Structure 1
């Protein structure tokens, strides 16, 4: 076996599993439903002069794009799961898709806020009855999509292993939830306008939705950005590694330590140690491997004489 084959064999972790396949399928279904509903809402929003409905339609358009990105991320992760060129697997393709989707959320929130303010300053007549029915249809579609994406959203006990969540699916799920929220606000605004003449509530709800969406988007950007930048040194697994090393021998000292994510609930560990006496690298790896989330372990030892 040549050197390249040996390296490939040692990279035993595969980031794509059956749960990912289910998520990929459900994400595709949600994308198709969202895209079709988006077309209906945008066309009807312009036709019936409803800012809340139009905002919901444009908001849904970014969700269709975001869900499409999520699906593509699953496809690429699966295709390149065992590609030698990816040092630590393809997990970050999914995280990158989530990060991009979150940025799209921010952009659509700004778009909604701008046009809502524009409608407050320049009111237009709204065909409330027709717009309400379209908004209800949009809400039903959102509920169906949320159900599709929720099944695999997170089945893991958050107290035990909160880091096992699928970031890509989580962002897709939040996209659908924010769209459902926008639909609900649109329905409230349209009903209030039709029965009580509160016309300003329609664009006002667009502003409220944009604020809530921005808050969620920033949260997602921080979470996915942390993974992309390998800012994982506050994760619980770090202390687990330190505890294992400290339990080995009082004369062993950690000189450098790097922990990084390579998958959902999977981490890589690179540790540099100094020791006053001989200690076997294989033994250290064996002790660290009791933590199943560590799927890649690299150990360097510098022996020092006293």
Structure 2
């Protein structure tokens, strides 16, 4: 006897609730990205170019997030996709991490090359555009902050905007230093700072996405604690073949076999076990196989 849920559309994904904010951030950053790119080539600023490149990954990342959200909303129409398309959100986050890493590496390599002979930079236009970029990133940061704790996809976009916001501050500082002192090394130095700031955050985002894709147990949840809680359900004699993983942000899934004591009502055990998973671990999607004691050991191998 078992129980499960339709994973394709029963739960409103966290990212769906913030779709309007994503669109607003996407439009705002797309416009500023073009402005920064044109200004970077006009002024000759590597720091501004790195900020524009980072903003490009912001725009692309948010675009992928929106595409993933749209796909998951339509996922329930295909009976062959029993888990819907929620994993697209995680794939988008992983692609986002790869793009961020590529931009950071390019900026670092180019900055090292420029340290030998830093080119002259037009500090005035560089400063104006950097201030505009800062304002745009502050608005985008505010738009994405709430959803960043609920969705790995939104977290990726949020981290990009946060890095870009700090990058804009760095570009402003470099422009002021160049304007006052003509110290051209400020430009590649700030570019290096932006690149080094991006890399560790990229690593954490990529690691979180990979953990979900390899179906590792959520970091905030101890599998042994889940096993002990299910074993404590009245009427359960033994728990085996327990698996807990994350389908997408905020959607943990579990499956387990529960061996029951003789004469126990399997329906009551099933209801109590599902309630325990929901109340103690916020797991609303569980497939539980209830096995009378006499059938223990005949459900097949329990090791992967």
Question: What interval of TM-score do these two structures reach, taking the shorter chain for normalisation?
Answer: 0.7 to 0.9
Q: 1:278 to 1:19 in 2, by over 3 A?
A: same
Match of 1:191 among 176, 180, 183: 176
Q: Distance in 1 between matches of 2:53 and 2:264?
A: 62
Check 1:101–1:248 CA distance in 2 against 1; reply closer, same or farther (3 A cut).
same
After superposition, give the CA deviation of every residue in 1:202-228 in whole Å (9 maximum; x if it has no partner): 101111111110000000011111112
| Match in the other structure for 1:159 | none
Bigger CA drift: 104-113 or 244-253? 244-253
| One of 142, 153, 167 as aligned partner of 2:152 | 167
Counterpart Cα distance in 2 of 1:12 and 1:62: 30
Q: Is the 8 A contact 1:24 1:71 kept in 2?
A: yes
- Closer/same/farther in 2, CA of residues 140 and 127 from structure 1, 3 Å limit: same
Normalised to the residue count of structure 1, the TM-score between the two structures is 0.85
Which residue of the partner structure matches residue 107 of structure 1? 102
Tell whether the 8 Å contact from 1:245 to 1:252 is kept in structure 2 after alignment.
Answer: no
Return closer, same or farther for 1:15/1:261 CA change in 2, 3 Å cut-off.
farther
Q: 1:245 aligns with which of 189, 213, 230?
A: 230
In structure 2, C-alpha distance between the alignment counterparts of 1:216 and 1:15, rounded to whole Å: 32
User: Does the C-alpha gap of structure 1 residues 235 and 148 become closer, same or farther in structure 2, counting only changes over 3 Å?
Assistant: closer
Instruction: Give the Cα separation in 1 of the matches to 2:268 and 2:189.
Output: 64
What's the offset of the Cα at 1:234?
5.1
Counterpart CA distance in 1 for 2:157 and 2:36 is: 20
1:289 aligned counterpart, secondary structure: helix
Q: Secondary structure at the match of 1:205?
A: helix
Q: 1:66 aligns with which of 38, 61, 64?
A: 61
Higher normalized contact order (CA 8 Å, seq sep 6+, divided by chain length): 2
Question: Structure 1 residues 86-95 or 52-61, which shifts more?
Answer: 86-95
Structure 1 CA distance for aligned equivalents of residues 63 and 29 of structure 2 = 10
**CA deviation profile, 1:150-197 (whole Å, cap 9, x unmatched):** 24333xxxxxxxxxx211111111111111111111111111121123
How do residues 77-226 of structure 1 correspond to structure 2 at under 5 angstroms? Answer: 77-81=72-76, 83-154=78-149, 165-226=150-211
Offset of residue 38 of structure 1: 1.0
What is the RMSD computed on CA atoms of the aligned residues?
A: 2.6
Per-residue deviation, 1:253? 2.0
Residues 221-236 of structure 1: pairs in structure 2 closer than 5 A: 221-232=206-217, 235-236=220-221
Aligned partners of 1:234, 1:223: CA distance in 2, in Å? 9
- Contact 1:139-1:180 within 8 A present in 2 as well: yes
- Is the 1:285–1:297 contact (alpha carbons within 8 Å) kept by the matching residues of 2? no
Q: Distance in 2 between matches of 1:251 and 1:56?
A: 58
Count of residue pairs brought into register by the alignment: 289
- Greater shift in the superposed pair: 261-270 or 34-43: 261-270
How far apart are 1:198 and its partner, in Å?
2.4
Can you give the 5+ residue segments of structure 1 that lack an aligned partner in the other structure?
1-6, 155-164
Q: 1:222 to 1:10 in 2, by over 3 A?
A: closer
**Post-superposition, which runs of at least 4 consecutive aligned residues in structure 1 deviate over 6 A?**
none
> Under a length normalisation based on structure 2, what TM-score does the superposition of the two structures give?
0.85
